[in-house]
Amino acid sequence: MKVGDMVPDIKVKDMGGKDVSLKDFKGKKIVLYFYPKDDTPGCTLEACSFRDNYEKIEKLGVKVIGVSADDIESHKKFTAKHKLPFILLSDKEHKLAEAFGVWKQKSFMGKKFFGIERTTFIIDEKGKIIHIFQKVKPQGHAEEVIEALNKF
């Protein structure tokens, strides 16, 4: 996906087990952030940063949605443990991650595997991608997103 593309109509489950499509959020701006794994150091830092800046983002009329390949139970625990006020989507089959081009081959300690590359998309009220943050660094990312949101 690139700036100017419309979001795909792919259904995944939210942490309550409900089917959700990004099209369900038409009329609202969205910060859609893809992250590798619940309750790991970088992902926790990023999620808590969005949590701590949630009110500022919401005042701009924007919804925050996190996506990983973790299952619903993992999302429930992660949300409860860190008091996350936003939706997490379970993309177990990585349909959404693949559609957005963030399901990539990665390597860690000499092992190659596929997983989510930390990426954030800002999506406008019509469902069009208006900004992309690639290879995101968790530290200070929410503030970086707020700065970008203030330009739109």
Residue found by looking up tokens 């910060």 in the block: 31
Please give the tally of structural domains in the chain.
1
Please name the residue ranges forming H helices in 3-140: 41-52, 54-59, 72-82, 95-99
pLDDT in tens, 25-41: 999 999 999 999 999 99
Please give the Cα distance from 33 to 19 (Å, whole number). Answer: 18
pLDDT value for 1: 86
Residues 64/121, Cβ–Cβ less than 8 Å: no
Residue 39 lies in a domain: yes
What CATH number is attached to the domain comprising 92? 3.40.30.10
Tell me the whole-structure pTM to 2 decimals: 0.94
pLDDT in tens, 4-13: 999 999 999 9
Residue 18 lies in a domain: no
Catalytic residues: 43
User: Is residue 125 predicted with pLDDT exceeding 80?
Assistant: yes
pLDDT in tens, 95-117: 999 999 999 988 878 888 888 99
Residue 16 lies in a domain: no
From the CA atom positions of the chain, what is the Rg in Å? 14
pLDDT value for 68: 97
Owning domain of residue 98: 27-149
The mean pLDDT value of the chain amounts to: 94
